[in-house]
Structure 1
């Protein structure tokens, strides 16, 4: 069975756009993870700073 060039192009485009979509979703997921980790660290630093200033006040 001979596949026409258009058919091959269609399948190739679907594969390409699908993989691009997956990469985009995965990249967004990584960004969210990194942002969450950053926020947690900022919160911990903030808490540590508050604890230190509270110690100084005592």
Structure 2
């Protein structure tokens, strides 16, 4: 039979391991969100540069 200390040690290691995995996964999600944000900003900037101005809509 396993002792209480041994069970506690295994539980601690499992918990610590799961927290490390969650931390890495959270970092990945954060990085991907930042990457998508930067890509979207580049797309919007490119669309703004490529937008043509119709002379009839611009009136003095």
Tell me the TM-score normalized by structure 1: 0.84
Number of positions where the alignment pairs a residue of Structure 1 with one of Structure 2: 53
- How far off is 1:23 after superposition? 0.4
Q: Where do 5+ consecutive residues of structure 2 fail to align?
A: 54-60
Tell me the TM-score normalized by structure 2: 0.82
Q: Where do 5+ consecutive residues of structure 1 fail to align?
A: none
Look at both structures and tell me which one has the larger radius of gyration over its CA atoms.
Answer: 2
Q: Structure 1 stretches (4+) deviating beyond 6 angstroms?
A: none
Give the structure with the higher percent helix.
Answer: 1
